[in-house]
Structure 1
Amino acid sequence: MPKLIRQLNRNTAIAIVVGGVIGSGIFMKPSLMAAQLQSPILLLSVWVVAGIITLFGALSNAEVAAMFPETGGQYVFFQKMYGHSFAFVYGWAAFAVFNTAGNASIAYVFSQYMGYLIDLPRLSNATEQSFTLSIPYIGTFFPLQNIGVKLLTIVVIIVFTAISYRSVQYGGRVQRILTALKAVAIVLLIGGVFFSGKGEASNIVQNTSSMPGGWMMVSAYIAALAGAFWAYDGWNNISFVAGEIKEPQKNIPQSLFMGLSFCIVVYVLVNLAFVYLMPVQQIAASSFIASDAANIAWGSIGGILITLMVMLFVLGTTNANILATSRVTFAMADNSKLFAWAGKVQPQYKTPGNALWLNALWTICLIISGSFDMLTDILIFVSWFFYGMSALGVFLLRKKMKNVNRAYKVWGYPVVPAIFVAFTAFFLIVTLMNDIHHYQNGQTQVIHSVLGILITIVGVPIYYISRKK
């Protein structure tokens, strides 16, 4: 039976980390975060704190990834830590929510920005409203809405799925090219802003009179962190393809540390550029912060340049995610009759071909339904629960497998993984409290964190029905 082979080197691994993290989040989240915090210093601190916490979680995962460098990443880790049933529930949540919905939402951003450059086809409002799907306590979906944007998004998903289907090396090569172009674009953006002479250093320290205090500040800061975590999400893509990385015991920890450190520096500098150009209240009021910053720094052509830059960033993230996330679906075939078909290696190309196309099919369903906007709201809550459990598992494996050789041990053990686990628990509790509060006050029709819990729990009966004996 054909097997996946180790074809990806360290540079490709770093490109997968950077490409999986730096996407649209850095351009979509700062305005909302500025509105929540009303302070440029706090805004900058959120990106630092979120980056360090994310790095702690990544380094904790790196210890386990170096022990079990197998395709499937956290799915494999959870099998070793908590057993097959817990691992399947994780894989189910990844397939149903945060992997496929994440891919859909990121690719959708590319098509949205393409709509700024050219007019994409759209049906009349009456036609868009003529066909709807309503699910109680979840929401109403409009499959025909923004049909041009959705069709282009589907094309993007199919193209990058086809690339990864034909060749792991080709997909990795595309990722290296897109990440290199992304790095050049970032340098040009940051340098262009700071050397434009259009900013004011005083903007960096000027808070607004609306800055919250007390518990409201804690709540606002946690909400802002959630936005930053969404922008940092994607770092664990590297563990999904661990079975295809050369010298994984060395290259996985190095790629995580180097890739995430680069992302932290980039995010802080980009936000520093924003607050240098605009007061925090102007950032908070901006509907497209990157375009507004570019218009101030470079004039009207800046908006077009930023649009092209965001599209480039999103393509790199889409390719990295499609390449990596299908490996979780592939790994689930070991213990599930339901996903057995997805566990077959494409004999000619030595890729997880069926898993790639299964993920693509479900991603396309989410694109057509338009439901991924809601799903991405629950993505961070669900994925961070599993990130916390993964770091907690480091302690369990240190006891269960204390005699197993560890090519890499997490720096600062036990403090680093303990901080990550404690923070994750605090983050999840406060997020759940905030969601319930917003629901009770009519600010949202769905308690997103509770919906995420319910979707995850659905994986339990599915596991017992479909498991292989």
Structure 2
Amino acid sequence: MTQPSSPGSQVSATEVRARGPAGPAAVLGTGSAVMLIIGVVVGAGIFKAPSMVAGMTGSVEWMFGAWVLGGVISLIGALCYAELTTTWPHAGGDYHFLRRAYGPTVSFLFAWARFSVIATGSIALLAFVFGDYMQQVLPLGTWGPSLWAAIAVLALWGVNARGILAGTSTQSWLTTLEVGGLVLLVAAALWLLGASTPAAPVAAPPAATPSLGAFGLAMVFVLLTYGGWNEAAYISSEMRTQRDIVRALVWSILLITALYLLVNWAYLRGLGFAGMARSEAVAADLMRAAFGNTGDKLISVLVAVAAITSMNATMIVGARTHYAVGRDWPALRTLALWDGQRGTPVHGMRLQNVTALLLVALGAATGGGFRAMVEFTAPVFWLFFLLTGVALIVLRRREPDRERPFRVPLYPLLPLVFCATCAYMLWSSLSYVYSQSLGGFNAAWIGVAVLALGFVLLAVVRARSAAPAVSPAAL
């Protein structure tokens, strides 16, 4: 069955079946990748974080400066990833870069963290966000949020089981709806400006330059809202040309930055700076001010669409790490099965989505404890993100003669800026986690436990694998 055409679709499903490769095929273009990156990045954060950033920065100028700086830092990181992905295009993405730079131990621990919390946990958390907001639109009883969460996982699993073109086609339409929702926020602000009621004062009271600590904390929330663009690395081997991934990374960051600035302008014009800074639900307050009670329903739909859009994108890229691990370790070779007709890692996708459903069930049983457990693993994510940035420098030194279709400009300055940002985020997330507790235990131990269990699993896998199936140098 031929997949429906959509924004970003580049190759027909018939052509994919005709090629029928045993591994990833180059079937995606720039449009598909841009839609996927925007879908991963633009999530529920933009409906919440702007009010927090406004309160921490204390002025309109510093607030917009923080969002612009977040876009610049994200663009720098994207340029670093552009070099890695064009030089070593691979379905394993970060896993593959870490393996080449540091060997199988570090890369296996990353794959375990990605499976246990980074990707699979994110799918489950996004499913609950979707469920929470859909419950406000179409209640399904006491267990409604959990039921909606499970329905979302199963529905997207069904779509992506049809193949990469079905997944990216769905992603294109979902991302279009998501961006349309952000435009609706701007329309709400314009509606208020045109209303007869007096507009809220835009300017903030005179405020001193925010302290380094306050601005740094604001940047934590800004960068978290920009997070996810690195997921493009997992489809690098499926891009029609390697220049496409460079264009996709750059254009997506520029578009996301423009969207975020536009949405912040909408909040500012609709609520005023003071109203924006003290709001507990800034998007909901704006929609309610413009459309009354209807606005509550609209914002629930917008957040639900944003959550399921990010879910679908994460589902597409997440399973590709499992495929890469299966290729490298004989004991996990079943994960290396790739459906050439559909362009999907069959067992990797199944393992990921079954685990996500189990996590949804765990979340339903434990409530907020599960969500906190996943959120408290942020230091693990930033640790491996930092190591990936350093890997660019390591591989430049180790493989100087390797052909690089794209080289990050101003090397080594930009990679060092990216690494310094990751190190700061690692420190910030560690500071936050160390001050929290879960079930009477310091939350910092959760990340330690994840990595410790990874070492145990690595020992088991090594015992069952005489040697890695494919050496890094051979890929």
Q: If the TM-score is normalised by the length of the shorter chain, which range does it land in? A: 0.7 to 0.9
Is 1:96 aligned to 2:116, yes or no? Answer: yes
Is 1:250 aligned to 2:243, yes or no? Answer: yes
Residue range with higher mean Cα deviation, 197-206 or 83-92? 197-206
2:134–2:148 Cα contact (<8 Å) kept: no
Task: Give the aligned partner of residue 13 of structure 1.
Answer: 33
Q: Aligned partners of 1:46 and 1:257: how far apart in 2?
A: 19
Task: Give the aligned partner of residue 130 of structure 1.
Answer: none
1:328 Cα deviation after fit: 1.0
Q: Aligned partners of 1:108 and 1:267: how far apart in 2?
A: 24
Is 1:116 aligned to 2:136, yes or no? Answer: yes
Task: Give the aligned partner of residue 126 of structure 1.
Answer: none
Task: Give the aligned partner of residue 416 of structure 1.
Answer: 414
1:53 Cα deviation after fit: 1.6
1:37–1:220 Cα contact (<8 Å) kept: yes
**Which ranges in structure 1 are unaligned for 5 or more consecutive residues?**
123-146
Residue range with higher mean Cα deviation, 296-305 or 75-84? 296-305
Q: What secondary structure is seen at the aligned counterpart in 1 of 2:344?
A: coil
Is 1:397 aligned to 2:395, yes or no? Answer: yes
Describe how 1:177-216 pairs up with structure 2 within 5 A. Answer: 177-197=173-193, 200=199, 202-206=201-205
Identity of paired residues, percent? 25
Q: What secondary structure is seen at the aligned counterpart in 2 of 1:241?
A: helix
1:100–1:362 Cα contact (<8 Å) kept: yes
Q: Aligned partners of 1:377 and 1:223: how far apart in 2?
A: 17
One-letter identity of the residue aligned with 1:93? A
TM-score, structure 1 normalization: 0.85
1:359 Cα deviation after fit: 0.8
1:432–1:450 Cα contact (<8 Å) kept: no
Is 1:460 aligned to 2:452, yes or no? Answer: no
Is 1:287 aligned to 2:280, yes or no? Answer: yes
Task: Give the structure, 1 or 2, with the largest relative contact order (CA under 8 Å, sep 6 or more).
Answer: 1
Candidates 303, 308, 320, aligned match of 1:315: 308
**Cα separation, partners in 2 of 1:101 and 1:43, compared to 1, 3 Å:** farther
Task: Give the aligned partner of residue 230 of structure 2.
Answer: 236
**Cα separation, partners in 2 of 1:103 and 1:443, compared to 1, 3 Å:** closer
Q: Deviations over 1:112-135 (max 9, x none)?
A: 11111122211xxxxxxxxxxxxx
Q: Deviations over 1:204-231 (max 9, x none)?
A: 43367xx996xxx444433333322222
1:63–1:410 Cα contact (<8 Å) kept: yes
Is 1:150 aligned to 2:143, yes or no? Answer: no
Task: Give the aligned partner of residue 47 of structure 1.
Answer: 67
Q: What secondary structure is seen at the aligned counterpart in 2 of 1:196?
A: helix
Q: Deviations over 1:394-447 (max 9, x none)?
A: 1111111111111011122211111111222233224323443x34xx899554
1:101–1:375 Cα contact (<8 Å) kept: no
Task: Give the aligned partner of residue 446 of structure 2.
Answer: 451
Task: Give the aligned partner of residue 13 of structure 2.
Answer: none
Q: Aligned partners of 2:438 and 2:234: how far apart in 1?
A: 37
Is 1:259 aligned to 2:248, yes or no? Answer: no
One-letter identity of the residue aligned with 2:455? V
Q: Aligned partners of 1:223 and 1:381: how far apart in 2?
A: 15
Residue range with higher mean Cα deviation, 41-50 or 256-265? 41-50
Candidates 65, 72, 75, aligned match of 2:85: 65
**Cα separation, partners in 2 of 1:59 and 1:336, compared to 1, 3 Å:** same
Candidates 70, 76, 79, aligned match of 1:56: 76
Q: Deviations over 1:55-78 (max 9, x none)?
A: 211211110100111111111111
1:299 Cα deviation after fit: 3.2
1:163–1:171 Cα contact (<8 Å) kept: yes
One-letter identity of the residue aligned with 1:367? V
**Cα separation, partners in 2 of 1:365 and 1:173, compared to 1, 3 Å:** same
Q: Aligned partners of 2:116 and 2:430: how far apart in 1?
A: 20
One-letter identity of the residue aligned with 2:361? I
RMSD of aligned residue pairs (Cα, Å)? 2.6
**Cα separation, partners in 2 of 1:448 and 1:221, compared to 1, 3 Å:** farther
2:185–2:286 Cα contact (<8 Å) kept: no
Q: Aligned partners of 2:378 and 2:247: how far apart in 1?
A: 25
